[in-house]
Amino acid sequence: MKTQYYLDYNATTPVDPRVVERMIPFFSERFHNPSSFYHQAGEVMEELDAARVELARLAGANADELFFCGNGTESDNLAIFGTMLQDKKGHLITSAIEHAAVLNSCRQLQKDGYDLTILPVDGHGFVDPDDLRKAMRKDTRLVSIMWANNEIGSIQPVAELARIAHEHGALFHSDAVQAMGKIPVDVQSADVDFLSLSAHKMYGPKGLGLLFKRRGLHLRPLVFGGGHEKGLRPGTENTAAIVGAGEAARLVSTHMREETERVRLWRDDLQTRIEEKIPDILINGDREPRLPNTLNISIRHIEGESILALLETHGLALSSGSACSSKSLDPSHVLLALGRSHEDAHGSLRISLGRFTRREDLDHLMTHLPSTAERLRMISPFWQNRES
Amino acid sequence: MLYSKKVMEQFQKTEDYGRIENADGIGKVGNARCGDVMWIYLKIDNGIITDAKYETFGCVAAIATSSMAMKMIKGRRVEEALEVSNKAVTEALDGLPPEKMHCSVLAEEGIKAAIEDYLNKRST
């Protein structure tokens, strides 16, 4: 098989081999349903509790405030619908650059008769706390604003936004799926009420989401069944994935600081090299605070899927915000919210680094990206006929 | 996204791109909003397309269909080129994913627009 140069850590991370090793027994000799009577089952339950403690510690939460569910999307849905559905009507606020899991949940509530305000972001991808203050209403029940953006990496002033929500009697939820594992995420200092996480963005397995729910707060469940997860999210636990996520959390606690430093240096270096080698590019989400591993650029006058396809012939795996890499005709809503034109949004490329990124991955990208851009620009009417 | 071998080959090895100076017919179709823009340039001599080039801003399918369409009309009579349908271009590429069919429509429209431009210029 051809070597893969993987630079798409924001899409998903490989499961750390140490995590895999911890998970394997739970598919075979330790397969037991943790709710069963015999001692083997009880021991599996103890492993789940230990994982919960490890994950809670990472987020600055208490273990009894953390709930397991199917994935990050479900966790977002639980926080949003679980809050709003306690009343027949009400107002909620979110931002224009949320992940689809949040944005489409909010839009569904709007269709169902709830009031929705979508806050804009500035040209660098930040929500202005003053905009939130102005949008707050007497009947605002929930504010949901992401910790860090998955496409451009901008980090929101979560603590300040949560404080504004609370001052007006609303609850605050943050989708921290993309932040956790890359930067410190602490529910205490940020004072959020709900937080969504996903194991597969932090070197754990797919198919495991987490929801932090502050003690004393109530959420209406979305699925009903037995008493698992205190009735908030019933269903037999995904034991292997939970144990794996616990190990993944332990590894993040141990390695994040050193990983972040390395990745940030390489990302900054990469940005400089790209700016030197490729004329007429835009950096999307160019200001701090931003995720240390994420670099999003628009290579003007060419289209993202074509870039991805040419890079893929060299074994490079990346993402684009172009419509063609998804199934809709519209390019990334995040880039449009920054004020990028459709053309520039179609020409975006997201490079995201992580734990197992090697220098040669970046060197390999730099071997092929400038020639790829040049080749596609030769074909593009916008480049050939641009105003110089 | 799964493309046929022929699509990828046409996309990677495309040759007939660029501008034709003093083209006899130019067709500009598509819009950047949807991510596909195609400009077609034709050189026409005695009713025969002697050269055809394209400039395309777009995805793999858009570039591959532009490229294939140029191959299919070069050396053909204008009337014959008007008969080149999006279906024919798609078939020559061993098919396109359903959500990419609009790219082949764009190629057909581009050729028609360029020929129309040629006929308009000639009648004035």
pLDDT confidence band for B32 (50 / 70 / 90): confident
CA–CA separation, A357 and A341 (whole Å): 32
Taking only the tens place, the pLDDT of each residue in B13-31 is 999 999 999 999 999 999 8
Question: What residues of chain B lie within 8 A of the CB of A313, using their CB?
Answer: 12
> CB burial class (10 A; 0-12, 13-18, 19+) of residue B13?
exposed
Domain hosting B93: range is: 5-123
pLDDT confidence band for A348 (50 / 70 / 90): very high
CA–CA separation, A117 and A140 (whole Å): 10
B18–chain A Cβ distance below 8 A for any pair: yes
What is the CATH class of A5-12+256-384?
A: alpha beta
* pLDDT at B1 > cutoff 70: no
Q: Are A67 and A53 in contact (CB under 8 A)?
A: no
CB contact under 8 A, B34 and A378: no
A374–chain B Cβ distance below 8 A for any pair: no
Q: Scan residues 49-88 of A and list those with Cβ closer than 8 Å to B.
A: none
Which whole-number Å values give the CA distances from A250 to A181, A183, A312, A338, in the listed order? 10, 15, 34, 36
Q: Is B59 a catalytic residue?
A: no
A329–chain B Cβ distance below 8 A for any pair: yes
CB contact under 8 A, A381 and B11: no
Taking only the tens place, the pLDDT of each residue in A202-230 is 999 999 999 999 999 999 999 999 999 99
CATH of the domain at B65: 3.90.1010.10
CB contact under 8 A, A380 and B55: yes
* pLDDT at A329 > cutoff 80: no
Judged by DSSP in three states, A223 sits in coil
Q: Which of A317, A324, A336, A366 is catalytic?
A: A324
Structure tokens at A332: 């990334």
Q: Is A106 a catalytic residue?
A: no
CA–CA separation, A321 and A345 (whole Å): 6
Taking only the tens place, the pLDDT of each residue in A277-307 is 999 999 999 999 999 999 999 999 999 999 9
Total number of domains in chain B? 1
Question: What residues of chain B lie within 8 A of the CB of A327, using their CB?
Answer: 99
Q: Are A321 and B35 in contact (CB under 8 A)?
A: no
- Which residues make Cβ contacts (< 8 Å) with residue A67, sequence separation at least 6? A78, A210, A211, A212, A213, A229, A230, A232, A233
Position A346 scores a pLDDT of: 94
CB contact under 8 A, B58 and A331: no
Q: Are A194 and A212 in contact (CB under 8 A)?
A: yes
CB contact under 8 A, B12 and A313: yes
Of A310, A325, A381, the CB nearest to B57: A381
Domain boundaries, chain A: 5-12+256-384, 17-251
Structure tokens at A366: 């730099």
Which is more confident, B71 or B35?
Answer: B71
Q: Which residues of A25-40 are buried (b: 16+ CB within 10 A; e: fewer)?
A: ebeeebebebeeeeee
Q: Are A368 and A7 in contact (CB under 8 A)?
A: no
Looking only at Cα atoms, what is the longest distance across chain B? 46
pLDDT (average), residues A124-128: 98
Pairing between β-strand B36-45 and β-strand B48-57 as defined by DSSP bridges: antiparallel
* pLDDT at A171 > cutoff 90: yes
Judged by DSSP in three states, A285 sits in coil
Residue A14 is given by DSSP the state: P
Question: What residues of chain A lie within 8 A of the CB of B12, using their CB?
Answer: 310, 313
Pairing between β-strand A316-317 and β-strand A294-299 as defined by DSSP bridges: unpaired
Q: Where in chain B does DSSP place strands (E)?
A: 25-31, 36-45, 48-57
pLDDT (average), residues B102-106: 88
CB contact under 8 A, A379 and B37: no
- Helix B101-123 vs helix B60-73: crossing angle, to nearest 10: 40
Position B104 scores a pLDDT of: 86
DSSP string of A245-270?
Answer: HHHHHHHHHHHHHHHHHHHHHHHHHH
> CB burial class (10 A; 0-12, 13-18, 19+) of residue B76?
middle
pLDDT confidence band for A326 (50 / 70 / 90): low
* pLDDT at A384 > cutoff 80: no
Mean predicted lDDT score pLDDT of chain A: 96
Structure tokens at A256: 């994040």
pLDDT confidence band for B99 (50 / 70 / 90): confident
Position A3 scores a pLDDT of: 77
Chains A–B, number of C-beta pairs less than 8 Å apart: 72
Position A1 scores a pLDDT of: 53
- Which residues make Cβ contacts (< 8 Å) with residue A22, sequence separation at least 6? A243, A244, A246, A247
CA–CA separation, A250 and B89 (whole Å): 55
Residue in chain B nearest A326 by alpha carbon: B1
Taking only the tens place, the pLDDT of each residue in A68-94 is 999 999 999 999 999 999 999 999 999
**Residue B72: what are its φ and ψ, rounded to 5°?**
-80, -20
Please state which of the four CATH numbers 3.30.70.890, 3.40.640.10, 1.10.1740.10, 3.10.450.350 is assigned to the domain occupying A17-251. Answer: 3.40.640.10
**Residue A168: what are its φ and ψ, rounded to 5°?**
-105, 15
Question: What residues of chain B lie within 8 A of the CB of A384, using their CB?
Answer: 18-19, 55
